[in-house]
């Protein structure tokens, strides 16, 4: 039992939920999939405002974008035809390796991008796509996904804010993607993961986005590496150079799961594979 | 607070606290087939079907389950009228200590409800959160395959 | 029709083992008797009963690896509403004991107290609380104020005996109750030495010598059900302990002793158990929970969390093994010198016997006249070792299994051939059997059944050994493959020490209650024991109603350990069933007016060879209870063993290694096993598959990671990496039949421990085949492998 929890409600509309959160004065929190909430990983919270009756679990595709409600479960993303294919399977690959089926049936997209841990997977993939986040609250707004990750999302958002959906622009042109993760077993947190989005113009790289996860408290884009590749003809040597640079310049620390040196090595190997994989899919 | 659930096709009402966990409530109410192996979503012994999806009941807030349909292992079948999965688990030798078995069967049931003829990879993926120390999973996968056959022949 | 169900104890049976063709229930993959109950969620585990006024117990764990308790103030905790009892060392008798669930007199040192004024590892018990709810108990724990004097800890087993190291067991009570080489002042929990032949001569006859250091690491049993016990008082004020244990009778004896009760005041019930693997051959939490019940007079439950299970239950003893061998060009082994240093953690549970097994279950496998074995077990301020499936042999085979591969390679002989040439054969004995026992001299025995050659041949074919071995030796590229193998043996029971018993009675419908002290912990022993009884009586297995175990009802059995249940308790069941059969004949003879000697059983009935007259069990049952000369057909028989015949096995593995990341993936694993006659092939396979996968994850990912203060950093399923279905490689179990053990019940030997011993050496050898690097210190995690190949 979570003995600190003394209040629970499940309003029917997002606006009601926002009002509830106001009443809670920061002591009540949004309850989505609940997997972090139930494990007591949310700190000083005494009430839950559940979004389960607010809808928000849609996955819809228009010509220009894929829109996923924040309450969509990771398993829904895995099983939804549009989401499966989107961005050449990038979201699918990232979702596939999150926890277990039993977990994925609970974990929501919203929870996964807000309750970020070092090893969170989906945010890494979302970082290399053109994604935006709709936020409802006293001041409703749309954030660039990367802005949500400027600091920890929980400090970027106010306690009265509710993420309602994530909108991802359909990539166009000749593009490829890849998501590669490394862990000791299948049901394990990533030691390192990499997402790559690449747009090609003949042999040249028109645009590339690279994001890493599991290395620092938050997933991050590797702008410097991207610059090394943009507008260049991509040959193996360049990829190796970029991977080398990534390994050299990325800050990581040792922990009991792996040493700093090994993680740095993984960066090199996985990035190389991810770039090649992305090119192959292009 | 009071929650209403349909458990194994029976309507139930329970008085709970807002912080109660579904696993604890189910066990407290007599559904002892729901097991606890970790309490942190990492063993699957506590799996139940929640509105048709297999979930870790140790990660579900009881309050959140209000108005849902729940199936526990007790609702899958009985010794008199076992589900093909339950029979197959016994026949295939997939039950050793049996502590993981209810959760395994729940996960397998969710899979077979969706897919009539899953591949081995799909079976393994569907059970990927169900831990078993005794069997090495070989006979568990066999059992699911066997159940698929049984259900086809029905 | 002749009586084909003659006693298998007859001398004749020894020469002509029971022909499998004549067996009806034994050797069949009968469905597990408790299977459907478990699959439908109704079979009762410890926690599946409701008791009124149940209290919840919690333990206050030590935050320090080594500290003296200066003061404990529990007054605040006691005042908390809902708290019913708080126990500290001041409230309990100070009786040194061992938590090892072994027979009396235990060879493990008496170095543990229910609660003590000193803590010896992070997680050690400091105090216990019983309260109305779990939450209150947890809160109460936090309110206990403890002042510690922190002492320097011993965290490295290789330094434990160095001068100036703090003494972990400086208490005056620490001792062994049988004369053993116990030296706590030097942090030594046990030491043994054994020597046969002449080492100097052995090594001087060798053309090649080998010497290397091998390691075995900590591991958790990780049974799905963590330790749990519920204690309460029955109508007569007797203490009832409902517990998840492998050793109910040892629990009764040991708890009674620790709490100064008479054993007649204690009843231990073992319901369904959610896996043990040795972890529950330990009287670990029953004592403190009982103490709380005695104090509160209420039912109390103590259920370990997963984290407590990792830290504060028992583990596989880590070892460092220095192995030296001498070999001739032709493959003859001239000398084996094994030097074991074992870490038992803070307490010496199984400290001597596990170390002994490292020698006694490993060394006899290979013919060699000059063998030396030395083992020293040391205390450290780390989690406590205990019995763990494989029991020392797992550790020993890491060294032996890898070094044999090195030997064969050096002399240019295929390792399969090397094993075939050198392994012990039928009719042979090993001096090690006698030299090394369980805390005393061992028992000389001759091998009477051995199918190892076939295990090796069939296993090699199944993995395509010869072709692959050669092909994989010359690879380049990023993904490489490799094959590796190892040959193994174990034992079956502890000879002249273990005793098992069974009792049986007949009911009026022709069914039988079979009560056994042997504890089914998921292993299927209830089923195979029922099969044996069914075979003797020729009744369907469903007619045998098995119950295990309850110290008030079932006869004594040492419990489920040392691979003894089938071999030992199985015989007790056969004896009992034979006696029942004889009593049935008595009644039938009277009813049919036939001579007893002319009777035989068939299909739940008794027949006369002479006249063909027959009568069903149902009639006999009814008659014996109601009609004439009324009496209960019933019997109790016990059995002790004089041998511990080893099962044999050959394991083969094929792996794939990613040179860039160091990740090793098992592609295929073949375990060919000869366990005498498999009483229930499917269950025997299941035992093997479970043990194999446990071995594989032990080899690759399972490990205890500590910080510098001796705190375990990964005490959860999140970071202690076990294998789940998605990690499952292809596992093939091949039961080699045709080698019934003459001394075994229906030719059976043990099966469930041997299978865990192969994965580490086989995988290490496969890595060598793939990349030419010898890894001798598991687990072979990606980082370890990557670093090793890039050294
Ligand atoms: C056993 C296990 C294994 C896991 N493995 C992985 C893994 O491998 N990779 C991975 O990426 N993740 C993994 N996760 C998921 C983990 O990262 C988080 O638990 C999960 O992302 C939280 O999602 P949730 O929907 O359950 O959120 P909740 O627990 O409901 O909420 C989490 C936090 O986010 C806030 N929040 C949620 N939704 C919204 C919203 N719409 N608006 C505003 N705030 C919101 C909540 O207030 C809360 O603070 C695992 C989880 C478990 C339990
Ligand atoms: S108890 Fe719920 S997953 Fe382990
Ligand atoms: S059968 Fe024991 S854990 Fe699966």
Which CATH number is C361's domain given? 3.30.365.10
User: Contact at 8 Å (CB) between C734 and C671?
Assistant: yes
Same domain, C650 and C627: no
Measured distance between the N- and C-terminal CA atoms of chain B, rounded to whole angstroms = 44
User: Contact at 8 Å (CB) between C579 and C635?
Assistant: yes
Same domain, C327 and C466: yes
Domain membership flag for residue C90 = no
Distance from Cα B1 to the centre of ligand 2, integer Å: 25
Interchain proximity A256–C714, CB inside 8 Å = yes
CA dist C55 → B144, C88, C446 (Å): 40, 18, 54
> Phi and psi at residue C768, in whole multiples of 5°?
-65, -45
Return d(Cα A71, Cα A76) in angstroms, integer.
Answer: 10
Go through chain A and tell me how many residues it has.
Answer: 282
Distance from Cα B130 to the centre of ligand 2, integer Å: 9
Splitting chain C (791 residues) into consecutive groups of 10 residues, what average pLDDT does each group show?
39 38 90 96 93 97 98 98 98 96 95 98 98 97 98 98 97 95 97 96 98 98 98 97 97 96 97 96 98 98 98 98 98 98 98 96 97 98 98 98 98 98 96 83 91 98 98 94 98 89 97 94 93 97 96 92 86 96 97 96 96 96 95 96 94 98 98 96 97 98 97 98 98 96 94 96 98 97 97 88
Same domain, C616 and C740: no
What stretch(es) of chain B map to CATH 1.10.150.120? Answer: 84-152
Write down the pLDDT at residue C15: 32
Q: Which atom of ligand 3 is nearest to the CA of B133?
A: 3
Looking at beta carbons, which residues of chain C come within 8 Å of A262?
Answer: 782-783, 786-787
Q: Which residue(s) pair with C515 in the sheet? A: C503, C547
| Residue among C3, C40, C38 nearest C22 (CA) | C3
Range of the domain at C247: 228-312
Burial class (CB in 10 A: 0-12, 13-18, 19+), C249: buried
Output the six-digit token pair for C459. Answer: 């296993």
Same domain, C660 and C767: yes
Spell out the long-range contacts of B6-12 with Cβ–Cβ below 8 A and sequence spacing 24 or more. B6/B68, B6/B69, B6/B70, B7/B31, B7/B70, B7/B71, B7/B72, B7/B75, B8/B70, B8/B71, B8/B72, B8/B74, B8/B75, B9/B75
Ligand nearest to the CA of B46: 2
Average pLDDT over all residues of chain A:
96
Return d(Cα C631, Cα A10) in angstroms, integer.
Answer: 68
Q: How far is B67 from chain C (nearest CA, A)?
A: 24
Domain membership flag for residue C538 = yes
Classify C603 in phi/psi space as left (phi over 0), alpha (psi -120 to 50) or beta.
Answer: left
| Residue among C686, C657, C656 nearest C671 (CA) | C686
Q: Which atom of ligand 1 is nearest to the CA of A32?
A: 30
Q: Which atom of ligand 2 is nearest to the CA of B38?
A: 4
Interchain proximity B133–C275, CB inside 8 Å = yes
Return d(Cα C400, Cα C212) in angstroms, integer.
Answer: 10
Same domain, C469 and C372: yes
Write down the pLDDT at residue C18: 40
Interchain proximity A101–B61, CB inside 8 Å = no
Same domain, C647 and C630: no
Q: Which chains touch C (3 or more CB pairs under 8 A)?
A: A, B
User: Contact at 8 Å (CB) between C564 and C542?
Assistant: no
Domain membership flag for residue C472 = yes
Write down the pLDDT at residue A41: 84
User: Contact at 8 Å (CB) between C216 and C251?
Assistant: no
Output the six-digit token pair for C165. Answer: 């190291």
Output the six-digit token pair for C143. Answer: 């309110």
Return d(Cα B80, Cα A24) in angstroms, integer.
Answer: 51
The fold adopted by the segment(s) B84-152 is: DNA polymerase; domain 1 (1.10.150)
Domain membership flag for residue C61 = no
Helix B138-152, helix C681-700: angle, nearest 10 = 130
Q: Which domains does chain A have, with CATH numbers?
A: 2-50 (3.30.43), 59-169 (3.30.465.10), 175-281 (3.30.390.50)
| Residue among C41, C46, C44, C33 nearest C523 (CA) | C33
Write down the pLDDT at residue C55: 98
What kind and span of H or E run contains C358?
helix C351-360
Same domain, C667 and C583: no
CATH superfamily of the domain spanning B2-75: Beta-grasp domain (3.10.20.30)
Distance from Cα A80 to the centre of ligand 2, integer Å: 27
Looking at beta carbons, which residues of chain C come within 8 Å of A1?
Answer: 134-135
Domain membership flag for residue C45 = no
The last residue of a domain, from among C312, C327, C345: C312
Q: Which residue(s) pair with C220 in the sheet? A: C315
User: Contact at 8 Å (CB) between C273 and C218?
Assistant: no
| Residue among C424, C403, C421 nearest C486 (CA) | C403
Same domain, C331 and C457: yes
Ligand 3 atom 4: residue of nearest CA? B132
CA C620 to chain centre: 41
CA dist C42 → B25, B97, C459, C516 (Å): 17, 13, 40, 21
The last residue of a domain, from among C613, C640, C667: C640
Looking at beta carbons, which residues of chain B come within 8 Å of A6?
Answer: 18-19
Return d(Cα C451, Cα C645) in angstroms, integer.
Answer: 12
Output the six-digit token pair for C326. Answer: 């001498």
Please state the rounded mean pLDDT for residues A41-54: 93
User: Contact at 8 Å (CB) between C508 and C620?
Assistant: no
Which residue out of A262, A264, A270 would a mutagenesis test of the C interface target, given it has the greatest number of C Cβ atoms within 10 Å?
A262
User: Contact at 8 Å (CB) between C485 and C416?
Assistant: yes
For residue A35 and ligand 1, the question of a CB distance below 6 A is answered with yes
Ligand nearest to the CA of C32: 3
* Pairing status of strand C664-674 against strand A131-136: unpaired
Distance from Cα A165 to the centre of ligand 1, integer Å: 15
Return d(Cα A282, Cα A205) in angstroms, integer.
Answer: 11
Helix C415-422, helix C452-463: angle, nearest 10 = 170
* Cis before C105 (ω within 30): yes
Return d(Cα B49, Cα A105) in angstroms, integer.
Answer: 10
Interchain proximity B133–C44, CB inside 8 Å = no
Same domain, C447 and C326: yes
User: Contact at 8 Å (CB) between C85 and C103?
Assistant: no
Same domain, C322 and C453: yes
Residues 6+ positions from C162 with CB-CB distance below 8 Å: none
Total structural domains within chain C = 3
Return d(Cα C775, Cα C765) in angstroms, integer.
Answer: 8
List of E strands, C465-567: 479-489, 499-506, 512-516, 544-547
Q: Which among C661, C713, C727 is the nearest to A266, CB-wise?
A: C661
For A11, nearest residue in chain B (alpha carbons): B64
Interchain proximity B128–C717, CB inside 8 Å = no
Same domain, C488 and C529: no
Looking at beta carbons, which residues of chain A come within 8 Å of B59?
Answer: 34-35, 38-39, 103, 106
For every residue of B125-148, which 3-state class applies, written as one string? HHCCCCCCCCCCCHHHHHHHHHHH
Q: Which atom of ligand 2 is nearest to the CA of B129?
A: 3
Ligand 2 atom 3: residue of nearest CA? B41
Return d(Cα C432, Cα C194) in angstroms, integer.
Answer: 8
Q: Which of A2, A35, A152, A195 should be mutated for ligand 1, with most atoms under 8 A from CB?
A: A35
Same domain, C377 and C421: yes
Write down the pLDDT at residue C410: 97
Interchain proximity B79–C40, CB inside 8 Å = yes
Domain membership flag for residue C158 = no
pTM value?
0.97
User: Contact at 8 Å (CB) between C530 and C597?
Assistant: no
How would you list the strands of the sheet with A175-182, edge to edge?
A: A175-182, A192-201, A204-213, A220-221
Q: Chain B contact for A223, CB < 8 A?
A: no
Distance from Cα C726 to the centre of ligand 2, integer Å: 17
| Residue among C687, C655, C767, C771 nearest C277 (CA) | C687
DSSP character at residue C756: G
Q: Which residue(s) pair with C614 in the sheet? A: C607
Distance from Cα C304 to the centre of ligand 3, integer Å: 18
Here the ipTM equals 0.98
Q: Which among C134, C661, C723 is the nearest to A269, CB-wise?
A: C661
CA dist C343 → C155, C257, C374, C513, C757 (Å): 10, 27, 14, 44, 19
Ligand nearest to the CA of C223: 3
Q: Which chains touch A (3 or more CB pairs under 8 A)?
A: B, C
Domain membership flag for residue C67 = no
Write down the pLDDT at residue C652: 98
Q: Chain B contact for A186, CB < 8 A?
A: yes
Return d(Cα C128, Cα A23) in angstroms, integer.
Answer: 41
Interchain proximity B24–A1, CB inside 8 Å = yes
User: Contact at 8 Å (CB) between B26 and B72?
Assistant: yes
Please state the rounded mean pLDDT for residues A20-28: 97
Return d(Cα B128, Cα B125) in angstroms, integer.
Answer: 5
Write down the pLDDT at residue C20: 53
Distance from Cα B8 to the centre of ligand 1, integer Å: 28
| Residue among B91, B110, B70, B94 nearest B150 (CA) | B91
What stretch(es) of chain B map to CATH 3.10.20.30? Answer: 2-75
Q: Chain B contact for C522, CB < 8 A?
A: yes
Domain membership flag for residue C141 = no
Ligand 3 atom 2: residue of nearest CA? B97
What kind and span of H or E run contains A206?
strand A204-213
């Amino acid at each position: 039992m979570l003995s600190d929890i003394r209040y629970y409600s499940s309003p029917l509309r997002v606006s009601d939920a926002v009002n509830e959160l106001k009443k809670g004065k920061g002591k009540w929190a949004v309850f989505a999939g609940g997997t972090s909430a139930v494990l007591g990983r949310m700190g000083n919270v005494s009430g839950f405002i559940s979004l389960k009756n607010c809808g928000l679990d849609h996955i819809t595709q228009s010509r220009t974008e894929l829109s996923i409600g924040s309450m969509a479960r990771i398993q829904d993303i895995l099983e939804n035809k549009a989401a499966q294919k989107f961005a050449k399977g990038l979201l699918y690959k990232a979702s596939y390796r999150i926890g277990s089926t039993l977990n994925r049936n609970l974990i929501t997209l919203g929870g996964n991008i807000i309750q970020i841990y070092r090893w969170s997977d989906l945010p890494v993939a979302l970082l290399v796509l053109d994604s935006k986040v709709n936020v409802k609250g006293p001041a409703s707004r749309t954030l660039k996904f990367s802005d949500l990750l400027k600091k920890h999302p929980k400090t970027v958002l106010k306690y009265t804010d509710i993420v309602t959906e994530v909108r991802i622009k359909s990539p166009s042109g000749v593009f490829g993607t890849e998501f590669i993760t490394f862990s000791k077993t299948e049901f394990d947190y990533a030691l390192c993961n990499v997402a790559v989005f690449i747009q090609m113009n003949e042999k040249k790289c028109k645009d590339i986005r690279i994001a890493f996860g599991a290395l620092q408290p938050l997933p991050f884009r590797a702008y410097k590496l991207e610059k090394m590749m943009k507008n260049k003809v991509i040959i193996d040597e360049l990829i190796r150079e970029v991977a080398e640079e990534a390994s050299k310049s990325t800050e990581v620390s040792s922990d009991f799961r792996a040493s700093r040196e090994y993680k740095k090595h993984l960066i090199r190997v996985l990035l190389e594979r991810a770039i090649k994989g992305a090119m192959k899919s292009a | 607070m009071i929650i209403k659930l349909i458990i194994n096709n029976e309507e139930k009402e329970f008085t709970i606290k807002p912080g109660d966990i579904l696993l604890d409530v189910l066990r407290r109410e007599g559904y002892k087939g729901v097991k606890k192996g970790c309490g942190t979503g990492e063993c699957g012994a506590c799996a139940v079907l929640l509105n048709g999806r297999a979930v870790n009941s140790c990660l579900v807030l009881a309050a959140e389950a209000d108005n849902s349909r729940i199936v526990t292992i007790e609702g899958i079948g009985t010794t008199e009228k076992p589900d093909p999965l339950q029979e197959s688990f016994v026949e295939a030798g997939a039950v050793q200590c049996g502590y993981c078995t209810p959760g395994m069967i729940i996960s397998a049931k969710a899979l077979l409800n969706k897919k009539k003829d899953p591949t081995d990879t799909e079976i393994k993926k569907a059970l990927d959160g169900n831990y078993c120390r005794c069997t090495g999973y070989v006979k568990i996968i066999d059992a699911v395959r066997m159940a698929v056959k049984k259900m086809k022949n029905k | 029709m002749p009586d084909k169900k003659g006693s298998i104890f007859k001398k004749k049976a020894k020469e002509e083992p029971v022909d499998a063709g004549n067996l009806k229930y034994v050797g069949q993959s009968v469905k597990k008797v408790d299977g459907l109950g478990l699959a439908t969620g109704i079979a009762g585990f410890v926690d599946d009963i409701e008791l009124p006024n149940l209290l919840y117990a919690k333990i206050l764990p030590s935050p320090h690896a080594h500290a003296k308790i200066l003061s404990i103030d529990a007054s605040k905790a006691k005042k908390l509403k809902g708290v019913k009892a708080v126990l500290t060392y001041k409230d309990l008798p100070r009786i040194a004991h061992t938590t090892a669930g072994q027979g009396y007199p235990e060879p493990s040192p008496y170095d543990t107290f229910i609660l003590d004024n000193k803590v010896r590892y992070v997680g050690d018990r400091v105090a216990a609380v019983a309260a109305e709810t779990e939450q209150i108990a947890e809160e109460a724990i936090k309110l206990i104020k403890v002042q510690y004097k922190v002492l320097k800890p011993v965290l490295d087993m290789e330094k434990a005996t160095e001068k100036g190291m703090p003494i972990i067991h400086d208490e005056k009570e620490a001792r062994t109750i049988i004369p053993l080489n116990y030296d706590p002042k030097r942090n030594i929990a046990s030491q043994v030495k054994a020597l046969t032949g002449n080492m100097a001569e052995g090594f001087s006859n060798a053309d090649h010598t080998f010497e290397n250091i091998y390691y075995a690491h900590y591991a958790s049993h990780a049974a799905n059900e963590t330790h749990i016990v519920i204690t309460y008082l029955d109508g007569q004020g007797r203490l009832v302990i409902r517990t998840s244990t492998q050793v109910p009778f040892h629990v009764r004896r040991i708890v009674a002793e620790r709490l100064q009760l008479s054993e007649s005041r204690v009843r231990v019930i073992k319901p369904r158990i959610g896996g043990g693997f040795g972890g529950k051959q330990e009287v670990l939490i029953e004592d403190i929970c009982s103490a709380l019940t005695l104090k509160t007079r209420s039912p109390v439950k103590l259920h370990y969390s997963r984290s407590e299970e990792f830290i504060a239950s028992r583990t596989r003893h880590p070892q460092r093994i220095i192995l030296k061998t001498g070999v001739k060009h032709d493959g003859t082994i001239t000398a084996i010198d094994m030097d074991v240093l074992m870490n038992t953690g803070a307490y010496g549970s199984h400290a001597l016997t596990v170390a002994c097994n490292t020698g006694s279950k490993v060394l006899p496998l290979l013919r060699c006249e000059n063998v030396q074995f030395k083992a020293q077990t040391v205390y450290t301020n780390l989690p406590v070792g205990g019995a763990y499936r494989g029991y020392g042999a797992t550790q020993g085979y890491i060294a032996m299994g890898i070094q044999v591969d090195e030997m064969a390679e050096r002399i240019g002989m295929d390792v399969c051939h090397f094993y075939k040439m050198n392994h012990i054969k039928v009719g042979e004995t090993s001096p090690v059997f006698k030299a090394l026992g369980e805390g005393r001299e061992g028992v000389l025995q001759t091998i009477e059944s051995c199918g190892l050659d076939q295990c090796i041949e069939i296993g090699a074919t199944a993995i395509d050994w010869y072709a692959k071995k050669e092909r994989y030796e010359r690879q380049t590229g990023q993904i490489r493959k490799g094959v590796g193998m190892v040959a193994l043996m174990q034992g079956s029971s502890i000879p002249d020490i273990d005793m098992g018993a069974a009792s049986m009675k007949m009911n009026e419908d022709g069914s039988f209650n079979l009560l056994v002290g042997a504890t089914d912990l998921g292993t299927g022993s209830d089923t195979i024991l029922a099969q044996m009884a069914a075979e003797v009586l020729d009744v369907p297995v469903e007619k045998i109603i098995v119950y295990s175990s309850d110290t008030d009802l079932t006869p004594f059995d040492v419990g489920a350990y040392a691979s003894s249940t089938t071999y030992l308790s199985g015989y007790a069941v056969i004896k009992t069933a034979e006696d029942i059969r004889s009593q049935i004949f008595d009644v039938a003879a009277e009813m049919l007016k036939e001579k007893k000697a002319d009777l035989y059983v068939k299909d739940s009935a008794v027949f006369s060879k002479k006249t063909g007259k027959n009568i069903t069990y149902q009639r006999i049952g009814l008659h014996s209870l109601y009609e004439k000369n009324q009496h209960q057909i019933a019997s109790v028989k016990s059995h002790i063993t004089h041998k511990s015949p080893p099962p044999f096995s050959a394991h083969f593995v094929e792996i794939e290694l990613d040179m860039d990341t160091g990740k090793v993936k098992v592609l295929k694993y073949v375990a060919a096993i000869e366990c005498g006659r498999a009483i229930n092939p499917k269950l025997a396979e299941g035992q093997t598959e479970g043990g194999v996968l446990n071995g594989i994850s032990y080899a690759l990912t399972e490990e205890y990671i500590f910080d510098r203060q001796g705190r375990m950093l990964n005490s959860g399923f999140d970071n202690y990496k076990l294998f789940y279905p998605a990690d499952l490689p292809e596992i093939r179990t091949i039961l080699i039949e045709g080698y019934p053990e003459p001394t075994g019940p229906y030719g059976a030997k043990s099966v469930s421990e041997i299978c865990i011993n192969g994965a580490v050496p086989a995988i290490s050898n496969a890595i060598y085949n793939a990349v030419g690097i010898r890894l001798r210190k598991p687990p072979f995690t990606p980082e370890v492998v990557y670093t090793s190949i890039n050294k």
